[in-house]
Amino acid sequence: MKLINILTAATLTISVASAQDIMQQSMSIMEQGMTQIQQGFLNNNIKLIEDGTKLVKNGNKLFSDKKVIGEYLPKDKKHMINVAANASKRIELDVNVLELNIEDKAYINAANAYSDILNACARCHSIVRSW
C-alpha cells in the first residue's frame, strides 16, 4: 500500500512539474515572439514580424490545452481555466488576423491585431494572477 501511495505521489509531482515546465516554456516563447513582432513594427521589418508571429503561435499551442492549464493553476484559481483557455483562443485568432493583414500589407490592421494579442495576454494575467 505504501508503494502505491509513493508511486501516486511521484506521478502527481511529475505531472505538476511537467505542466509548470510547459507553462514556463509557453510564456517564454510567446514573450520572445511578442518582442520580435514589436521590433518588426518599430523597424519596418516584416521578417521579424513573421518570425515573431510563428513563435507566438507555437507558444500559444503549448498552453492552450485545458488539462495543462488546470494542472498549472493554483488550487484557488482552478475555476479560471476558461479565462485562460479563452485568452488562448483569442490569441490564436488574432495571430491569424495579424498574418493575413501582413500578407495584404494592411500594416495598421496588423498592428491592431498585435495590440489585441497583447490585451488578451494582459487580461488573462490580470485576472488569473490577480494583479
Spatial distance between the Cα atoms of 20 and 72, rounded to a whole number of angstroms: 6
The three cell numbers locating residue 64: 492552450
The three cell numbers locating residue 82: 476558461
pTM for the predicted model, two decimal places: 0.80
Q: What is the mean pLDDT of each run of 10 residues along the chain (131 residues)?
A: 46 44 87 97 97 96 84 84 92 98 97 97 84 66
- Which own/partner pairs from 10-19 qualify as long-range (CB within 8 Å, at least 24 positions apart)? 15/71, 16/71, 18/71, 19/68, 19/71, 19/72
Spatial distance between the Cα atoms of 16 and 33, rounded to a whole number of angstroms: 26
Query: What domains sit in the chain, N to C, each tagged with a CATH number?
Result: 2-128 (1.20.120)
H-run or E-run covering 24: helix 2-42
Instruction: State pLDDT tens for residues 53-85.
Output: 999 999 999 878 888 888 888 788 888 899 989
Q: Is 21 helix (H, G, I), strand (E, B) or coil?
A: helix
